[in-house]
Structure 1
Amino acid sequence: MRAYNKSRIVGQLLFVALGIAFIYYLFTPSLHQTNVVKPQIPKVDTESIVVYDMNEISASADAVRKKEEVLILTPIARFYPEYWKNLLKLTYPRNLITLGFIIPSTKDGTKVHRELRAAVQAVQKGPKHQRFADVKIMIQDTGLSSGQSEKQRHSLEVQKERRSKIAASRNTLLFSTLGPKTSWVLWLDSDIVETPQRLIEDMTSFDKDVLVANCYKRHNGNLIPYDFNSWVDSDHARNLAKGMGKDDILLEGYAELATYRLLMAHTYDNGDPRTLMELNGVGTTALMVKANVHRDGAVFPTFPFYHLIESEGFAKMASRLGYKVYGLPNYLVFHYDE
């Protein structure tokens, strides 16, 4: 009986020992296991936090020396090789220039995109010192057609709708590309094919909030005024506006809507290119804007703003924010001759 109990006790002890060994084996990693997956502790990437002191961003008359960044913005519905060639002639350091384009998402826009992209890649894949700091291309249904003739694009009856769409396109481009280190924004139309090579240095040297060049075109050896959106207001125009409905707009360059404003295009006299004149309206053929003017809220109204729209509405908005708007009557840029 004692022998039986002794055997029974020994058996129970062995059973318990085996159970403990099994549990130990089950829950304890093997010392010989080499492919154990260790739990990953997430790492905090402190480099993802970037702080910009906006008070340190300058827009001055000494833009090159202070290495001020310039954003050149161009809505583009038709690609002009002459525009691109002229752009490449600008002498401002390319490492301080970002280019921004917006293209319509249409069949014509696809062609424009292909041509523009090829031109951009030829530069950006070239020598590093010749590359732009960045190039951004936006594609959007702008509602604008590149198949219209100049006469169709500028007919009075389509201006309100057309310029509203242009304003919306400009705002999209601006909001999508304006960086925290941008000092200046140069609006340069895609059909501007000739400018002074020091365009950026020249225009920033005036240290003005908003400054527009005078736009002409060369035709059969003659200089023809082109952009009539840069002007000084008149009493007659102000009185016209008072009698208009809230959704009506005033436009320049149309005999049926005479405003008797002083158009900068008509003040060119081949004089000092540094001559300044204060303006109430501007065009965007070659328009230099301090980036803070845009940051403070001056954009391109898509609706009648004091009976003005798009670039002329922008000038009004900038002035309402306390900024001064100027033009250069004897500093010429040239539009493509259609």
Structure 2
Amino acid sequence: MPPVRRNSTITYILAGILCIFFLYFFFGDSTSIPSFPNAPKQLIHSKQAASNALSPPSLPFIKPAKLGPDEVPAPPPVVHYQMNNVTTSSTPIENHETILILTPLARFYQEYWDNLCKLSYPHDLISLGFIIPKGREGNLATQQLQERIQKTQHPSNKDRFASITILRQDTEPITAQAEADRHALTVQKERRAAMSRARNSLLFTTLGPTTSWVLWLDSDIIETPASLIQDLASHNKPVIVPNCFQRYYNKEEEAWMTRPYDFNSWQDSATAQGLAEQMGPDEILLEGYAEMATFRSLMAYMGDPTSDPRAEVDLDGVGGTALLVKAEVHRDGAMFPPFPFYHLIETEGFAKMAHRLGWKSYGLPNYFVYHYNE
């Protein structure tokens, strides 16, 4: 007959302590969740989490207290994120989806900032990120931006943004050239490679674990519908871009008119593919230049203001003037190649890289945003 094992009182006590410990570990933080009306559901707050629901766990928004000579700074808190709960849907406001708006900024345009502040998406779900070149013009742009931020982010403003990050570029500066010089064919490879590095630095520094969407918005986009974010996200596409035009005054007609501006959103052609096959490994295809006729179908010429603004077209290349990307596309590894990637670079190279990762790009030829006219 086997011996009878009796559970002692101490065994029950230890088991009870263990159960309490595990229950506290998994559920103990739930009472410390601060009150955020639009707090993203994917964030499980720690007792020492940053005061802003969108802050990364390194607490960049809290200035540490001065330490004594023998004091050691406390390590950053552990914050738990449930990445499976990060949603990207056609109803982003209802799902409290966070938006990261990223802008490479070489010059500050007041019209850009005014348009940004007029966006109707809840501002407490929007984080802003800027990267600005070093140098005199970059210093001026930084100063002008900070002056606007101080007003917009003042505690008395109930419509302030969730967070704002400003980076100073530590690689090649984004040269703030005149428009004609900036678009010269001879400078495109160097200029767009520098732009790619700036975009990647900004993206990898600011993309957080609760970010659902990334909106790339150039600093010279001065007019968009106030519902830009909701309109683009409502299509629920991995990569989607509106049509970028420019308003200008026609002296002959004595009237304000519009013209296409961004030629980087296109559908590929057999001619372009043939040109690429004859190129060396370091050569790139560029769009919108008579010296390099690709005969691609450009979305810039598909636009019709009287047609359905929700009409979609498939794209093989995208421009970055106003580009909405699901954050998971970037998390998958799609970035802006500063090198020839299948003979494409920057935003067009990004579309190619996203496609190679299984993500398609789309365009809205009848939905317009407008570029500053120099």
User: TM class, shorter-chain normalised?
Assistant: 0.7 to 0.9
The alpha-carbon deviation at position 101 of structure 1 amounts to: 0.1
> Per-residue CA shift, 1:183-230, capped at 9, x if unaligned?
000000000000000000101111000000100001111110000000
User: Aligned partners of 2:126, 2:177: CA distance in 1, in Å?
Assistant: 31
Q: How many residues align?
A: 297
Separation (CA, whole Å) in 2 of partners of 1:115 and 1:127: 21
Find the counterpart in structure 2 of residue 9 from structure 1.
Answer: none
> How large is the Cα RMSD of the aligned pairs?
1.7
Runs of at least 5 residues in structure 2 that lack an aligned partner in the other structure: 1-71, 250-255
What SS class does the counterpart of residue 158 from structure 2 fall into? helix
User: Larger helix proportion, structure 1 or 2?
Assistant: 1
Code of the aligned partner of 2:172: G
Specify which structure has the bigger relative contact order, considering alpha-carbon pairs within 8 angstroms and separated by 6 or more residues.
1
Cα distance, 1:96–1:240 mapped onto 2, change above 3 Å: same
CA contact (8 A) 1:215 1:227 kept: yes
Instruction: For 2:176 and 2:83, locate their aligned partners in 1 and report how far apart those are by CA, in whole Å.
Output: 42
1:126 Cα offset (Å): 4.3
State the partner residue of 1:241: 276
Q: 2:220 corresponds to which residue?
A: 191
Which structure: larger Rg?
Answer: 1
1:16 corresponding residue in structure 2: none
Q: AA paired with 2:291? A: E
- What letter is aligned with 2:86? I
CA distance in 1 between partners of 2:363 and 2:107 (Å): 27
Q: Paired residue for 2:361?
A: 325
SS in structure 1 opposite 2:199? helix
The 5 Å alignment of 1:61-140 reads 61-140=90-169
Q: Distance in 2 between matches of 1:146 and 1:235?
A: 34
The Cα shift of 1:303 comes to 0.1
**SS of 2:275 mapped into structure 1:** helix
**Structure 2 CA distance, aligned partners of 1:145 and 1:211?**
25
2:293 matched to 1:258? yes
Shift of 1:128: 4.7
Number of the residue aligned with 1:3: none
Structure 1 residue 127, shift from structure 2 partner: 2.6
Deviations 1:1-26 (A, max 9, x none): xxxxxxxxxxxxxxxxxxxxxxxxxx
Tell me the distance in 2 between the aligned counterparts of 1:149 and 1:135: 28
Matched, 1:206 2:201: no
1:146 Cα deviation from its structure 2 partner: 4.3
CA shift for structure 1 position 140: 1.5
Per the normalisation by structure 2, the TM-score is: 0.77
Matches within 5 A, 1:309-320: 309-320=345-356
Provide the residue aligned with 2:309 in structure 1.
Answer: 273
AA aligned opposite 2:325? V
Matched position secondary structure for 1:287: strand
Correspondence for 1:335: 371
Quote how far apart the aligned CAs of 1:241 are: 0.3
* Partner SS, residue 180 of structure 2: helix
Task: Identify the match of residue 143 of structure 1 among 172, 175, 178.
Answer: 172
Q: Which amino acid aligns with 1:95?
A: D
For 1:248 and 1:139, the matched residues in 2 are separated by 30
Judge conservation of contact 2:134–2:173 (CA < 8 Å) in 1.
no
| 1:235 partner letter | A
Structure 2 counterpart SS, 1:305:
coil
Are the aligned partners of 1:105 and 1:142 in contact in 2 as well (CA < 8 Å)? no
**Secondary structure at 2:80 match in 1:** coil
| AA partner of residue 299 (structure 1) | M
Instruction: Give the whole-Å Cα distance in 2 for the aligned partners of 1:126 and 1:201.
Output: 26
Counterpart of 1:12 in structure 2 is none
State the alpha-carbon separation in 2 of the partners of residues 302 and 146 from structure 1.
16
Pairwise CA distance, 1:283: 0.4
Structure 2 residue 335 is matched with structure 1 residue 299: yes
Task: Write the distance in 2 (CA, Å) between the matches of 1:62 and 1:145.
Answer: 35
Quick check: 1:48 aligned with 2:77? yes
Mapped to 2, the partners of 1:126 and 1:202 lie a distance apart of 29
Unaligned runs of 5+ in 1: 1-41
Match of 2:195 in 1: 166
Kindly provide the CA deviation profile for residues 233-288 of structure 1, in whole angstroms up to 9, marking residues without a partner as x. 00000000000001000001100000000000000012100000000000011100
Letter in 1 for 2:285: L
CA offsets, 1:120-168, max 9 Å, x none? 1111114352110000000013423544211111000110010000000
Distance in 2 between the 1:238 and 1:293 partners?
25
Query: Partners of 1:298 and 1:145 in 2: how far apart?
Result: 22
Letter in 2 for 1:327: G
- Partner secondary structure for residue 55 of structure 1: helix
